[in-house]
Structures are given as C-alpha cells and as structure tokens.
C-alpha cells in the first residue's frame, strides 16, 4: 500500500458551519477522501471561534501554536496552550475561542464517517 502524502500548500480549504474567524484545511479529509481518520489544521485568528455544538464523533484536539479556550456544556473553560490536547467523546458539547491577540493553530483528528470502515457503533465508542 502506498504512503498517502498531503503537502500543506496543497491542502483543501473548507468552512465548517458555526466557525467564525477560523481558516481550516483538510490534511486528510474532504468529499473524495475514503481514509478511516480525518485530520484538519484549523487556524483561529484573534477572536476566532467555533460555536457551542456537539462533536459528531470522538475527536482529538491538539493545539500547535498559541492558546485556545474550550468551553463545555456547563460553562467550564479549559485553556489549551501549544502542544496541549483534549479528547472529546461523541456528542460532547463544546465551544472553542481564541481570546488572545495572537493567531492559534489546532490539529483536529476524528473518524471519517464517509469511510467504508466507519460504522455507527464505532461512532458511539
């Protein structure tokens, strides 16, 4: 099996609903992608945010640069600095916001629901 390479310069931009001031790119993902796991690189400008919403499947957040604030359903906030990570289980309500004056970047990893190997049972685990 060949190695699948995505160069950042060739990564496809996309705009997820409920994201404002966020510039994400698919490193692995998108309409034609059939891999089991997706990876997106999201750049949050100062004040950039993702509205409170549930994650569709277990999701890993890894902040690469800057700082981002995660807020959960009960209003608890968690500030993630560079190289901090968070694991969100399926259905977890969360908001993300960059409260700083510097841009922040985050790697987002989750199962690909379009993958032939993905099942509803896996989404709930």
pLDDT tens, position by position, 1-60: 689 999 999 999 999 999 999 999 999 998 888 899 999 999 999 999 999 999 999 999
Q: Where are the domains of the chain?
A: 9-124
> What pLDDT band is residue 124 in, cutting at 50, 70 and 90?
very low
| pLDDT given at position 72 | 97
Calpha distance 3→49 (Å, rounded)? 34
Model pTM?
Answer: 0.90
Class at the top of the CATH hierarchy for domain 9-124: mainly beta
Find, among 26, 27, 18, the residue nearest to 54 by Cα. Answer: 18
The answer on pLDDT for 108 being more than 60 is yes
The answer on pLDDT for 120 being more than 60 is no
Within 8 A by CB and 6+ apart from 85, the residues are 60, 61, 62, 63
């Amino acid at each position: 099996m060949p190695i699948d390479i995505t160069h950042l310069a060739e990564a496809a931009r996309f705009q997820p609903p409920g994201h404002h001031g966020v510039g994400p790119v698919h490193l692995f993902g998108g309409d034609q992608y059939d891999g089991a796991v997706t990876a997106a690189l999201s750049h949050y400008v100062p004040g950039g945010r993702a509205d409170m919403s549930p994650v569709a499947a277990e999701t890993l957040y890894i902040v690469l640069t800057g700082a981002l604030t995660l807020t959960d359903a009960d209003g608890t906030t968690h500030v993630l600095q560079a190289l901090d990570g968070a694991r969100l289980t399926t259905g977890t309500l969360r908001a993300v916001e960059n409260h700083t004056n510097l841009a922040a970047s985050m790697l987002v990893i989750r199962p690909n629901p379009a993958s032939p190997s993905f099942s509803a049972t896996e989404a709930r685990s």
